[in-house]
Amino acid sequence: MRCDTSKTNRSSVEIEILKATYDALLKHGYADLSVTRIGDELDKSKSVIYHHYDTKMDLLSALLDFAVDTFLSRIETHPNRGPTKKLNHFLERLLTSDPAEEFQLQAVLVCFRSQAVTDQKIRAQFTRIDQRLAATIQDIIARGIQKGVFCDVEVSQVSEHLLAVINGVISNRHTTDREGVATTAHASVVSYVESELKQSC
């Protein structure tokens, strides 16, 4: 995981601990994560963890904040691109999850996602992620309509449709062994965008 420390106040030791937690999470899963297992991924004594985080929950909470911030900072779209290129780039980034670093970041978020069913703080973070993704898609489509590049569609309907596909594909990729599905779904989304935003007007 590449960590952008410039945007935060996290020290290098904290980043090292978060990186170890990230690796342990992807190895053992959320429910089987222990401080000992996180310590196994560290080059330092595990006692350093307790110097920086009072409990395992504090550490996991910091990791989720960190993963969410990193994920959201990467979905920024290029300001100078036109709506079509911007939307294609955005969808490609989320649906193909290339490079491997992006794939792992998504996997970490999927590891946390189930906890959002019962944990209000984690639920608030996933609400934040999905609101932000939906707003980004809405913004691109609205600008496309304004510029006459896209058809005058029901913006929220198309945005929620695309967001659902994105979340469905990410879930499939990390929680099943159904290979090739992401590629098929990506092709279907390209075709959906083409017919919904370009051909239907």
What residues line the site for a copy of itself (CB under 8 A)? 26-32, 107, 110-119, 123-124, 126-127, 130-131, 134, 154, 156-158, 160-161, 163-169, 171-172, 174-178, 181, 184-185, 187-189, 191-192, 195-196, 200
The residue among 8 and 167 lying less far from a copy of itself, judged by its C-beta, is: 167
Residue 62 or 116 having the CB closest to a copy of itself: 116
**Closer residue to a copy of itself in complex, CB, 4/154:** 154
For residue 100, the minimal CB distance to a copy of itself (Å) is: 15
CB of 68: closest distance to a copy of itself in angstroms? 13
Looking at the Cβ atoms of 69 and 187, the one nearer to a copy of itself is 187
**Residue 11: CB minimum distance to a copy of itself, A:** 27
Nearest-angstrom CA–CA distance, 180 and 144 = 31
| Helix 83-96 × helix 120-146 angle, to 10° | 150
Q: Spell 77-109 as b/e; 16+ CB within 10 A means b.
A: beeeeebbebbeebbeebbebeeeeeebbbbbb
Asked if 116 and 122 count as a contact pair (C-beta separation under 8 A), the reply is yes
CB of 39 to a copy of itself, least distance (A): 18
Cα(184)–Cα(96) distance, integer angstroms: 11
Inter-residue contact 91 to 167 (CB < 8 Å): no
